[in-house]
Structure 1
Amino acid sequence: MTNYVLVAGAWLGGWAWDEVAEELRRGGHTVLPLTLSGLAEKRDVPAGQQTHVRDVVDAVEHAGLTDVVLVGHSYSGIPVGQAAERIGDRLAHVVFVDSDVPSDGKAFASAPWAGQLGATITEHGGFWPPLTAPECGGQGLTETQIQRFVDGATPHPGATLTEPAELTRPLGELPATYVKCLLDGAEPNDDVVELLKSDRWRLVEMETGHWPMFSQPGELARVLAEVPARP
């Protein structure tokens, strides 16, 4: 059986994975949904980009996990991608769910929208405010699922978005799966397209929106359960 560490994207905590975690546990897997510093129940903890990387690495090491599948959704693909290379032989696979991917020296808040996001963070006291219900439309979510998102979301610490990623090896060397959610765009971004040229990366498509842990938790759990074993 596999050890999964699940990390949700901006504004969300470990709670976002409840339904996915339940499905994976039914299959006999060990599942650790992780809340990053500055979010949800950890909202009072100061956080920068490398804080989030350490959150993931520390969770794996403190739990003594091996054969780990790290899963990063949306923003969290950036810290998860960095953590994946830092946990060494503990890593079996990394899954990026409709996510950004880290690039050495590059921040989440990069051109062309760095200025706009930076201004928003400044206006909100150093945080990125969560999306409103109308802004979640068009992503395959029911009204109940949207309300769950809105009710559970917390402001995202801005420093995690503006500080650069730190990589020591090419990301394409890691065994990885990229899950593209098609309602959020038919194609991955250019960085991901380049990484998918690696023979260690594969692409999986889901007919849903950007938050499949809410819209299609059973299908997402199935995709994660079918991740290739350690190469």
Structure 2
Amino acid sequence: MVNFILVPGARLGAWAWDAVVPHLREAGHGAYPLTLSGLAEKRGVPAGQQTHVQDIVDEVERLDLREVVLVGHSYAGIPVGQAAERLGDRLAHTVFLDSSIPVDGESFAGPWPDIEASLARNDGFWPPAAASHYAGHDLTEQQIARIVADSTPHPGRTLTEPAVLSGPLSDLKATYVLCAPAGEEPDDDVAQLVADGHWRLVRMDTGHWPMFSRPRELAQVLLDAPKA
């Protein structure tokens, strides 16, 4: 038995994993979706990047979990990668789900100056995306409507504050799940970790939000990850 801590990407809450959790639990494992500070039911809680890292560590310790598989989707790969190296022998595996990965001293927003411009226009928050943002990602109209309706503004400091790592990501036992059509490749930093034999790469032929578009298939990918 392993215990999955499921961390959603920007603007989302624990609700994003509703269709995945039952499949993990039916397989006999623990599944714990986590809302990060400042989002969904925790909206209004002040949060910076290290707040989100601590959210993850605190949840594992609060539940006193062992054999932990951390799963970070999209933005959440940044805090998940940092939390992973702080969990010691509680950690079994890390899954980066079509996500950014942390680089010591760099922020999520660093490669995208338009994010900081958006924060400046929106009182320090990254506003929810319009329905058009989700087009072409293998989602139904109903799924898109739910994502748009339930998303909340994302606290900007979590996006602009730098990651803090004490060691290389190659030290982690990790799987990177690339959600893209056949033929597309991961970013160079991920590709290097895979090529060097440190991480395993799994491909899903779906869009960026597989917890909605392919929940059963995603659950199986997560179940297989610690066995690799």
TM-score range for the pair, normalised by the shorter chain length: over 0.9
Q: Percent same amino acid among aligned pairs? A: 61
Q: 1:88 — aligned with what?
A: 88
Among 164, 184, 190, the residue aligned to 1:166 = 164
Which residue of structure 2 lines up, in the alignment, with residue 44 of structure 1? 44
Aligned twin of 1:193: 191
Cα distance change, pair 184–10 in 1 and its aligned pair in 2 (3 A): farther
Q: How many residues align?
A: 228
Q: Distance in 2 between matches of 1:118 and 1:75?
A: 15
1:4-83, aligned counterparts within 5 Å?
4-83=4-83
Structure 2: distance between partners of 1:185 and 1:160: 32
TM normalised by structure 2 equals 0.97
Displacement of 1:191 after TM fit? 1.7
Distance of 2:33 and 2:143 partners within structure 1: 19
1:103 to 2:103 alignment: yes
Q: Distance in 1 between matches of 2:182 and 2:73?
A: 13
Q: Map of 1:136-175 to 2, 5 A cutoff?
A: 136-175=134-173
State the partner residue of 2:120: 122
Give, in whole Å, the separation in 1 of the partners of 2:171 and 2:216. 29
Q: Contact conserved, 1:184 with 1:210, CA < 8 A, in 2?
A: no
Match of 1:218 among 212, 216, 219: 216
C-alpha distance 170-122 of structure 1, shift in aligned 2 (>3 A):
same
| Superposition TM-score, scaled by structure 1 size | 0.96
Tell me if structure 2 keeps the 8 A contact 1:183–1:210. Answer: no
Displacement over 6 Å in runs of 4+: none
**Alignment partners' CA distance in 2, 1:173 and 1:31:** 25
* SS of corresponding position for 2:46: coil
Separation of aligned partners in 2, 1:212 and 1:199 = 25
Do the aligned partners of residues 215 and 185 (structure 1) sit closer, same or farther apart at CA in structure 2, a change above 3 Å counting? farther
Deviates more, 1:196-205 or 1:163-172: 196-205
State the Cα distance separating 1:184 from its structure 2 match: 11
| 3-state secondary structure, aligned to 1:19 | coil
Give the C-alpha shift of residue 38 in structure 1.
0.4
Deviation at 1:183, TM superposition (A): 4.6
Query: What is the RMSD computed on CA atoms of the aligned residues?
Result: 1.4
Q: Deviations over 1:98-136 (max 9, x none)?
A: 00000000100113x22x211100100110011111111
**For the structure 1 residues 104 and 74, does the alpha-carbon distance in structure 2 shift closer, same or farther, using more than 3 Å as the test?**
same
SS in 1 for 2:18: helix
**Does the 8 A contact of 1:182 with 1:206 survive in 2?**
yes
List alignment gaps of at least 5 residues for structure 2.
none
Contact 2:93/2:226, CA 8 A, preserved across alignment: yes
Tell me which amino acid in the other structure corresponds to 1:24: L
